[in-house]
Amino acid sequence: MTLKLAVPSKGRLMERTFEWFAARGVGLRRTGSAREYAGAVEGAPGLELVLLSAGEIPRELAAGRVHLGVTGSDLVHEKLARWDSRIEALSGLGFGRADLVLAVPAAWVDVSILDDLDAVAAQFRANHGFRLRIATKYHRLVREFLRARGVADYQLVDSQGATEGTVKNETAEAIADITSTGETLGANHLKVLDDGLIHSSQATLYALPEARLSAGQAEIRRALVARLGL
Partner 1 sequence: MATRAAIREKAAALQALFRDAGAQVIEADILQPAETLLDLYGEDIRARAFVTHDPLAGERMLRPDFTVPVVQMHMQDGAEPARYTYSGVVFRQQEDGAGRASEYIQVGYEVFDRADPPASDAEVFSLISRALDGHGLRAVTGDMGILMAAVRGLDTSERRKAALLRHVWRPARFRALLERFSGKLPVPESRARLLAEADPMARAAPLIGLRSAREIAERIAALRADAHEPPIGAGETELLDRILGLAAKAPAALAALREMARDMPALAESVATLAARLEALDGRGIDVAALDFEAGYGRSSMEYYDGFVFGFYAEDRADLPPVATGGRYDALTRVLGQGRSIPAVGGVIRPALLMECAP
Question: What is the contact surface with partner 1 in residues (CB under 8 A)?
Answer: 81-82, 85, 105-110, 112-113, 115-116, 118-120, 122-124, 127-128, 131, 139-140, 143-144, 146-147, 149-156, 167-168, 170, 172-173, 188-189, 191, 194
Closest distance to partner 1 from the beta carbon of 112 (Å): 3
Closest distance to partner 1 from the beta carbon of 43 (Å): 39
- 34-43 long-range CB contacts below 8 Å, 24 or more apart? 37/9, 39/7, 41/5, 43/227
Closest distance to partner 1 from the beta carbon of 170 (Å): 5
Q: Which CB sits closer to partner 1, 119 or 223?
A: 119
Q: Which CB sits closer to partner 1, 46 or 186?
A: 186
Q: Which CB sits closer to partner 1, 29 or 149?
A: 149
The alpha-carbon radius of gyration of the chain (Å, integer) is 21
Closest distance to partner 1 from the beta carbon of 182 (Å): 14
CB 157 within 8 A of CB 133: yes
- What is the distance of C-alpha 63 from the center of its chain? 18
Q: Which CB sits closer to partner 1, 48 or 115?
A: 115
Q: Which CB sits closer to partner 1, 168 or 212?
A: 168
Closest distance to partner 1 from the beta carbon of 19 (Å): 37
Q: Which CB sits closer to partner 1, 36 or 195?
A: 195
Closest distance to partner 1 from the beta carbon of 25 (Å): 39
